Homo-oligomer: A and B are copies of this chain.
Amino acid sequence: MIIILRADVSDQNVQVVEQKIASMGMKSHVSRGIQRTVVGIIGDESKVDKEAFEVFPFVESVIRVMKPYKIVSRDSHHEDTVIDVAGIPIGGKTIQIIGGPCSVETPDQMAKAAAGVAAAGCRLMRGGAFKPRTSPYAFQGVGVEGLEMFQVAARKHNLPVVTELMDVRMLDTFLEHKVDVIQIGTRNMQNFDLLKEVGKVQTPVILKRGMSATISEWLMSAEYIAANGNHNIIFCERGVRSFETAYRNMLDVTAIPVIKRETHLPVIIDPSHAGGKAWMVPALSRAAIAAGADGLLIEMHPCPSEAWCDADQALNPEQLSELMVELRGIAHVIGRDF
């Protein structure tokens, strides 16, 4: 950790900083430049709060030298981690496309959706039984019975299921229903009690990025899960909040190379929630794979115009199949398996 002192700092104040560092059991190194005095802390900075020094009026800024994340950091594990979901690998050389409807509606809709997902060549299926909705008056998901409908439909095609957990009290029910991948939604990325609980099980977790979370905060949320014992974490970028109003969220495609550099864990993209319109999904999907994403989470509905939720962002089965052809081509160009 490096402490930059204000231009007019007195010798006495420099000593205050040195003493505080010593009281924490660490050593300091003072460098008096012409224009600024800089103090370096020698020791494990993860045990030190920046605020403990920023509180002094003669301190201009405090800079961490270390990354705050550990288990999820590529510094701690150089090779790509491949996560096993019922025998299907996520991460590494392979690209996986997870398809399915926004929400579980009826057994018939789910049967058709599963058939479409499998026919398109996807190997995992998504669908929400519990839906986070901005309005309390909007459809909130069909609930627990949706988990059953989902499993019945998906098992027929050997598709592991991916579904969102919103309420920490529902975790046991998810485990009982053998959910294969637990999705933590954008609004819960910093619901720390929920993160701690999914950290105590071994079910793989898709951790969506918060709507305005920095990449560093996102990695720290994954660290919450990892520090509690569950290292099966898949990052999912789904668009962030911006000033632009021509679409719903701004897909942060740059996050893909950055996250691949910072962590050994896989990262996938949700192009459907990012743009918010079905016609944008092919372009965003191709961009994500080309940029190096390990997979996609795409909304597909057997009949989008009848969907109970987010009707305007789902592809139909034919559109998904056509897109898969392009994605496979791009994957091969950059040396990935598909």
Give me the interface of A with B, judged by CB distance under 8 Å.
2, 4, 7, 29, 31, 33-36, 38, 40, 42-44, 46, 49, 51-52, 54-57, 63, 65-66, 68, 75, 132-138, 166-169, 187-188, 190-193, 196, 210-212, 214-217, 220, 223-224, 227-228, 239-247, 250-258, 261, 274-275, 277-280, 283-284, 286-292, 304-305, 307, 309-313, 326, 329-330, 333-334
B residues near A223, Cβ cutoff 8 Å? 135-136
Query: Which chain B residue lies CB-closest to A75?
Result: B7
Q: How far is the CA of A289 from the CA of B277 in the complex (A)?
A: 20
The answer, among B56, B277, B291, for a CB contact under 8 Å with A284, is B291
The answer, among B241, B279, B334, for a CB contact under 8 Å with A257, is B279
B residues near A75, Cβ cutoff 8 Å? 7
Protomer copies: 4
Cβ B243 vs Cβ A254 within 8 A: no
The answer, among B136, B291, B305, B329, for a CB contact under 8 Å with A286, is B291
Cβ B330 vs Cβ A227 within 8 A: no
- Rounded to whole Å, the gap between the CB of A15 and the closest CB of chain B is 15
The answer, among B35, B215, B326, for a CB contact under 8 Å with A244, is B215
B residues near A305, Cβ cutoff 8 Å? 52, 55-56
Cβ A167 vs Cβ B166 within 8 A: no
Cβ B291 vs Cβ A66 within 8 A: no
Q: How far is the CA of A46 from the CA of B283 in the complex (A)?
A: 32
Q: How far is the CA of A150 from the CA of B301 in the complex (A)?
A: 52
Cβ A33 vs Cβ B134 within 8 A: no
